[in-house]
C-alpha cells in the first residue's frame, strides 16, 4: 500500500493515504498524552484529597462512577466512529471524532471544507486532495479550541479565585446556573428538530426519572450510576423503532 509517493491528488481511494503508518503513530501519540495526563491527575488528586475534604474511598467511587457513566456514551461514539471510517480512515476518526472534537462538529467542518473545493463528502468528487484539505481544516479548527483553552484557562482562573474570595455566594450560584443553562439550551435545541427527537428526549428523561426514583425509594445506589446508560439505550431503542417503522417523521 505504501510507496515512496503515496499520494494521487485525483484518486478517490482515500484510505490509501488516510491509513499511512505515520498517521497511526501520531494518533496513538495523542492517546498516550491523554493517558499520561490521567495518571498525573489521579496521583495529584490522591495526594491533595485530604486537603480538599474528600476521602480516598470517595475518589475511587468518583472514578468508577465516571467510568461507568462513560460506557454508554463511549459505545455510542464508537458506533458513530465506525460509521465514519470509510470517510476519514481510522487515524483521523480516532483523533478527530473519538477525541478532541465530536462527530457533529468534525463532519460539519469536513463538509464545509470540502465545499470550498467544490466537492462533497463521500461522492466521486471526494478525492485524496479534498480529504487532505478537509482533514487539515478540521484539525486547525480543533486546534483553535485547544489554543483558546490554553489561553483562557489561566485568565479565568485568576478571575475565578478573586471572585471566590470576594463573593462566595456568587460562586455557589454561577456554576449551577451555567450547568442548568447549558443543558436546558441543548435539550430545547433537540426539541426543535423532529417528533422522533422530541420523543427520544422524553423517553430518556422518563427512564432517568424512573431510575432515580427507584434508587431513592428502595435505596439502590448502583441505579444512580447506571441510570444514564439505561436512558441512552432505551432512548436509542425507541428512536430506532420510530425511525425504522416510519411511525413519525424523523431526520
Partner 1 sequence: MSSTTVISTPSAVLATFDRTTSRWGRLTMIAALVMSLAAPLYLVLFADLGITQTQVWIAFLAVAAVFSVLWVVEPITYYPILGPAAMYQAFMIGNIANKLLPSALVAQAAIGAKAGTKRGEFSALMAICGAAMVHVFFMLVFVGLLGSWLVNIVPADVTDVARLYIFPSIIGGVIVQLVVSLKQPRVTLIAIGTAGFVFFVLVPAIPTIANLATGITVVTTAVLAWFLRSKPRSDSTKEIS
SS3 73: helix
**Measured distance CA(1)–CA(14) in Å, rounded:** 12
Rounded distance between C-alpha atoms, residue 76 and residue 11, angstroms: 32
User: What whole-number distance in Å separates Cα of residue 13 and Cα of residue 36?
Assistant: 35
Of the residues 1, 13, 40, 247, which one makes contact with partner 1 according to CB under 8 A: 40
Encoded one letter per residue, x for contact with partner 1 by CB under 8 A and - for no contact, window 56-95 reads --xxxxxxxxxxxxxxxxxxxxxxxxxx-xx---xxxxxx
Binder to partner 1 among 12, 206, 214, 248 (CB under 8 A)? 206
Rounded Cα distance, 227 and 240, in Å: 20
Q: Is 196 in the site for partner 1 (CB under 8 A)?
A: yes
Q: Which of 122, 133, 214, 248 binds partner 1 (CB under 8 A)?
A: 133
Q: Is 224 in the site for partner 1 (CB under 8 A)?
A: yes
77 vs 124, beta carbon nearer partner 1: 77
Shortest Å distance, C-beta 219 to partner 1? 14
Report, in this order, helix, strand and coil percent for the chain, each rounded to 5: 80, 0, 20
Shortest separation between residue 88's beta carbon and partner 1, angstroms: 11
> Is residue 119 near partner 1 by the rule CB under 8 A?
no
Does an H or E element contain 128, and which? Answer: helix 128-166
Among 87, 121, 126, 239, binds partner 1 (CB under 8 A): 239
Q: Contacts with partner 1 in 145-184 (CB under 8 A)?
A: 145-150, 152-154, 156-157, 160, 169-184
Assign 125 to helix, strand or coil.
Answer: coil
Amino acid at each position: 500500500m505504501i510507496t515512496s509517493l503515496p499520494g494521487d491528488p485525483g484518486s478517490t481511494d482515500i484510505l490509501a493515504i488516510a491509513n499511512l503508518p505515520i498517521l497511526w503513530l501520531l494518533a496513538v501519540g495523542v492517546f498516550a498524552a491523554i493517558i499520561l495526563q490521567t495518571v498525573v491527575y489521579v496521583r495529584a488528586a490522591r495526594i491533595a484529597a485530604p486537603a480538599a475534604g474528600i476521602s480516598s474511598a470517595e475518589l475511587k467511587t468518583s472514578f468508577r462512577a465516571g467510568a461507568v457513566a462513560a460506557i454508554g456514551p463511549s459505545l455510542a461514539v464508537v458506533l458513530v466512529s465506525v460509521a465514519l471510517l470509510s470517510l476519514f480512515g481510522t487515524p483521523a476518526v480516532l483523533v478527530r471524532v473519538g477525541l478532541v472534537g465530536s462527530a457533529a462538529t468534525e463532519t460539519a467542518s469536513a463538509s464545509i471544507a470540502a465545499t470550498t473545493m467544490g466537492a462533497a463528502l463521500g461522492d466521486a468528487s471526494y478525492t485524496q486532495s479534498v480529504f487532505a484539505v478537509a482533514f487539515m481544516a478540521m484539525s486547525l479548527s480543533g486546534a483553535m479550541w485547544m489554543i483558546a483553552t490554553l489561553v483562557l484557562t489561566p485568565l479565568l482562573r485568576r478571575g475565578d479565585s478573586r471572585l471566590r474570595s470576594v463573593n462566595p455566594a456568587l460562586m455557589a450560584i454561577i456554576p449551577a446556573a451555567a450547568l442548568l443553562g447549558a443543558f436546558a439550551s441543548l435539550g430545547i435545541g433537540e426539541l426543535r428538530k423532529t417528533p422522533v427527537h422530541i420523543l427520544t428526549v422524553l423517553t430518556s428523561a422518563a427512564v432517568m426519572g424512573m431510575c432515580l426514583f427507584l434508587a431513592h425509594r428502595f435505596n439502590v445506589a448502583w441505579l444512580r450510576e447506571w441510570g444514564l446508560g439505561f436512558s441512552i439505550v432505551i432512548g436509542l431503542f425507541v428512536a430506532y423503532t420510530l425511525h425504522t417503522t416510519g411511525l413519525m417523521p424523523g431526520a
